[in-house]
Chain A
Amino acid sequence: MAQVKDYIGKVKPDWCPGCGDFAVLNALQRAIADLDIAPHNVQVVSGIGCSSNLPGFINAYGFHGLHGRSLPVASGAKFGNHDLTVIATGGDGDGYGIGVGHFVHTCRRNIDMTYIVMDNQIYGLTTGQASPTTEKDIPTKSTPEGTIEMALSPIALALTCGATYVARGFSGDNLHLAQLMKGAIEHKGFALVDVFSPCVTYNKHNTYPWFRERVYKLEDEKHDTSDFRLAMEKAFEWGARIPLGLFYKSERPTYEDQEPALRSGKALCKLPLKRDDLAALMEDFI
């Protein structure tokens, strides 16, 4: 049985002390260890941001690419080798700001992969500007008089766009978070785990105590995860009470299940490069 230490990367995380992302990394290592997936069969893909440094900190294949483009790279990696467990990671700016177009369409496709967003409601690496999930009226470095735009709801957006596993965790509850991630990785389809991962340096509003006062677990209230309408309702619950846990889960065929080129079941990267059907293809030009 694999252990958390098997997934510890070569590099020590350089996040600020107290950053919520430590818990996310630890929960992810725990989830993969619990599922006993060999490190070399895991591909972690990220974009740019504090949280996007995660691939370097975990013992798995990593791709640490452009800002906002983790999902298309991860999709391509899954399409190219669907034998891999593919996990995209990043922050709210990366995924819901610059990369939100990809988020919408990746949900729609239901590719069998997991997307973990360390949502700190701020741009940390660029020193504290407003993000798409910054609450309205909160002052930030780029909005000194408070943000004018309303915050985006990642949970509602994922539901609307067709994600089949939609969950929210909290860095302040590591074991619960690991359980949600485990479920996400096991789930056959596109899974979002949005994580409240407080930025202790730049977000003085959405702090650990702020969340602790408000969060509750959906499973404690016998939430029906198959009820889409209820999930949507819960997605917008914000303020005095904020739900954590699995909002919604459904089964529908994955993109890979339906892709004609993958019918043989063999991963694209394992198919031969030499072809024997070229003469037949050539006939079409004659």
Chain B
Amino acid sequence: MSERPDEKATRDTTEERLGDRRVKLSKHWSYNLRSDPKRLPFVLARYKFAARLGSKGRSVLELGCSEGVGALILAEQATHYTGLDLDPDAIARAKENWTEERFTFHLDDFLGSDHGTFDTVVSLDVIEHIDADADDRFFDAIVRHLEPKGMAIVGTPNVTSARYASPLSQAGHVNMFSAERLATRMRENFVNVFSFGMNDEVMHTGYSPMCHYIFAVGCTKRGE
């Protein structure tokens, strides 16, 4: 079928706008898309949820940003976005793909670092990879990077979902949380903590042991 003139005009405009701004994924996300493409909406839904709660008009720091798959959603309404990750390949990709001024990426494992303070700290799918005896340092890193009245959004797969995880996921997940344990740890650091669950891309407040993924949102640092 031949292309209608208006369709061709749309395509030309899109190509003109896009220029050579192609997006090239790292091995990690290339693997994810090839092996389980439905993972993409699940992960993006987590970012959209975090962005709706904590990004508008705020400076956002992401601990464990990988190649910046969530950076666009988190940065959309933020004053600035900073992403930290310990994977050199991921950070290199992030810097190549997201070049605008509103993005900053640093190669850093963030457990001992100090990049200043932010209004919101987001960390998704990170804490389950940190040994339980070191997870104090994870919460310290969140608190250290937050303004006194800041907000932290932490997401991780529910411990109850571990038995259904892929062997690859299981190998990396050394510190799984229940909703209660996550909320308890967050309450040690924040005055108000709100828990949410997610199954696939759907956010809800249903029975926590049956949530596939869990969030805790902490507001206002303790002792401030």
Q: Do these two chains interact? A: no
Binding site for B on A (CB under 8 A): none
Q: Which residues of B contact A (CB under 8 A)?
A: none
